Chain A
Amino acid sequence: MAEMENDVSPIETEQREYVEDGKNKLVVQCKFCGSKILDKKSSNYIAQEKDLPLMQQASNNDREVQNETIKEFYHVENMYTFENIGFTHTVDNHKYLSCADCDAGPVGYHDTNTRHSYVAISRIVHSK
């Protein structure tokens, strides 16, 4: 999994309507079932590039995991900050995050070395 930090100026992040003071301004929910994943202002916005497996893998493809590059995440330092979330078994120092109610995912990943978690912003929805 490739990983690199991008320099994003504070002004740029401030322009995102869902980020305020570097945090998620709104409640974070599952795209599919609306399960509450994070409370508002409980995580930090972070711009970084990371490959995550697609939520749906084509079944005719035997071995190769199909990935996509995600560029924006919410960074969660303590796993108990999550309202509702699932953690998969560990694969190469990572656990993948899934919706606790409908099991859709990965909606992000957990680094077992740092014990920090990252929620892929493109794979969740915001609500008030």
Chain B
Amino acid sequence: MAKTYDCLFKLLLIGDSGVGKTSILFRFSEDAFNISFISTIGIDFKIRTIDLDGKKVKLQIWDTAGQERFRTITTAYYRGSMGIMLVYDVTNEKSFENIKNWIRNIEENASADVEKMILGNKCDLDSQRQVSKERGEQLAIEYQIKFVETSAKDSLNVEYAFYTLARDIKAKMEKKQKEASNPSGGRSGVHKPTLNDARKPVTWLSRCSVL
């Protein structure tokens, strides 16, 4: 069957236990009388389809809940991932400090060109806040990674974060394809895809065809 989308991006949610990674992926709340079968088993991953500048982009988003220790998340886990959401809890200082350890873990195990974003989650719990927004921004500047505060509970900025990460992956991919087809670099000509491009079996970049 013909492919019905333009790009497929695999994204991971990473961060300490309890920072709300699962809530970012999973919203269900149950009433007192019924138990949702789904919440009992838990979500492994979701597929979402978004429109990015006229391109149909599929996001496959994985939760890493239950495997939060740095050492258990290794190369195999990161394989094929193109974007990583680094999540901390603004009411938990330790989870913020650990973001640096997570970044180191990513540098050691993930592909060098993986796109990253830092999320300061639970920003709805302002009275319990331990990490200011400014410190989050400062950390992001230090590592040159985008940053946003989110509230999975109030659905604040969650969708924005996924769109931003996906857009950055797509931009990076298009830049690389342009460079590959135009090795002299620097010229501003528009790259026209050819039959050859579609067949090139390079990295995950090639999974995004018809650009």
Contact = CB atoms under 8 A, between A and B. Distances in A.
Contacts of A42: 4
A85 interface: yes
A98 B37 CA distance: 10
Interface string A79-102: 111111111111100011010111
Interface residues of B, number: 28
Contact of A57 (B4, B25, B37, B48): B37
Interface stretch (B39-47, B98-106, B177-185): B39-47
Contacts of A39: 4
Contact of B58 (A36, A80, A106): A80
Given A88-B43, A89-B44, 15 more contacts: A53-B37, A55-B36, A56-B35, A80-B8, A82-B49, A83-B47, A85-B47, A86-B26, A87-B44, A89-B42, A96-B38, A96-B41, A100-B46, A100-B47, A103-B38
A78 interface: yes
B36 A103 contact: yes
Nearest to A105: B38
Contacts of A106: 37-38
Contact of A91 (B5, B8, B28, B41): B41
Contacts of B43: 86-89, 98, 103
Given A88-B43, A105-B38, A100 B48 contact: yes
Contact of A56 (B34, B44, B58): B34
Contacts of A88: 38, 41-44
Interface residues of A, number: 36
A59 B34 contact: yes
A39 B27 CA distance: 23
Contacts, number: 94
Interface string B1-34: 1001100100000000000000001111000111
B35 A59 contact: yes
A90 B44 contact: yes
B34 A79 contact: no
A104 B38 contact: yes
A94 to B, nearest CB: 10
Contacts of B32: 59
Contacts of B8: 80
A59 B4 CA distance: 41
Contacts of B5: 80
Contact of A78 (B1, B38, B39): B1
A78 B82 CA distance: 20
Contacts of A81: 1, 4
